[in-house]
Structure 1
Amino acid sequence: MSSRVGLRFLNNTRFAFRNASGPFRRPGAQGFRFSSSEAGAAEQQSTFQRIWNSPVGVKTVHFWAPVMKWCLVIAGISDFARPAEKLSLTQNAALMGTGAIWTRWCMIIKPRNVLLAAVNFFLGCVGAVQVTRIFLWQRSQDGSSAEAAKELEQEAVASVKAVADQAEGAAKKVVDKVEKST
């Protein structure tokens, strides 16, 4: 019931503003109507007609390019399941850079294309996640190879010490034999 009261209030105030002799008009005022017939026709268009005739509407490339670009976002999201060693750093860095640059550019160009900005934002986010995964994987590999190198170094030092001890023992035997023979 309250929505009907609101609707009645809206209709009554519309009538009052449009009526030349209404309480909100100055005497002799022309009214608030648009002077061109095109603006009046735009006022009476349905939502579908406004979307259809919009500068970024369904009939234009400004609509269909972002729709097709969502395929890149979906492909990037499906790569979340792939191991990081099989991902391409250059490809994902390019996706991240493209997303960042074009998100900003979509807000500058006329007509401003929010749908394209949204898809580019998510493309940049997907690229950033993948690049982060690749860097973390590479860092973990560097860490494990460093640990392996430390283990190899310790083994090498131990074997060198063992060889040095054997050589030292053999040298002492030779020195002892020489001292006894003299």
Structure 2
Amino acid sequence: MSSRFGLRFFHNARQSMLRSQQRFASSSPAVGTNAVPPNPAAGNAGQGRVAQLWNSPVGPKTVHFWAPVMKWGIVLAGVSDFARPAESLSLSQNLALMGTGLIWTRWCFVIKPRNIFLASVNFLLFCVGATQTSRIFLYHQSLKDSTLGEEAKKAAKEEGHLIEGMVKDPQGALKRAEKA
């Protein structure tokens, strides 16, 4: 039974490969002819806008569409933090948002297919992170007139002490969070 399944699998795989080779050969112009190869952009010319979007390499049938849609949630959460006071914002979290937004914006132009929708989401994620980070730095600067580097070190130490406290005493951290 298992050997029969294996033979059937390889037979079907070979047939599939031959069919795809035939499709490729029939879509390319014959060698030595003056035939013009088909334009991939013009392949959807007879379709409507909705059909073009649906069949696009970054359309709703692909992860290239749904990943940016889901990532908008992170951007909207960052935007909603604009209403929070700067002393309650996390510097490390907003630096991470800023860094990932910047890195992935660049990467969206490198990958194929190039995904402008995802690049726009990542760029706005960078903008949200940069805005929140600047708010945090300006808040700390207003408390004490010191250099920007000192403020970054101080904020990082505060975040580190907070995390250490959570690791050492998770129950106590939970109780302090419930009080706040």
TM-score normalised by structure 2 residue count: 0.57
What aligned pairs does 1:18-37 form with structure 2 within 5 A after superposition? none
Letter in 2 for 1:71: G
Q: Deviations over 1:67-122 (max 9, x none)?
A: 11111111111101101110000000000001111111101110000000000000
1:41 CA drift (Å): 5.4
Where does residue 112 of structure 1 map in the other structure? 114
Structure 2 Cα separation of the partners of residues 40 and 91 of structure 1? 45
Letter in 2 for 1:60: T
> Which of 133, 136, 148 is matched with 1:134 structurally?
136
CA contact (8 A) 1:34 1:40 kept: no
Q: Aligned in 2, Cα 1:41/1:142: closer, same or farther, shift over 3 Å?
A: closer
Query: Highest CA radius of gyration, 1 or 2?
Result: 1
Q: Does residue 95 of the first structure (1) align with residue 97 of the second (2)? A: yes
What aligned pairs does 1:1-182 form with structure 2 within 5 A after superposition? 42-143=44-145
Deviation beyond 2 Å, 4+ runs, structure 1: 33-36, 38-43
Number of matched pairs? 114
Structure 1 Cα separation of the partners of residues 120 and 43 of structure 2? 31
Name structure 1 gaps, 5 residues minimum: 1-30, 145-182
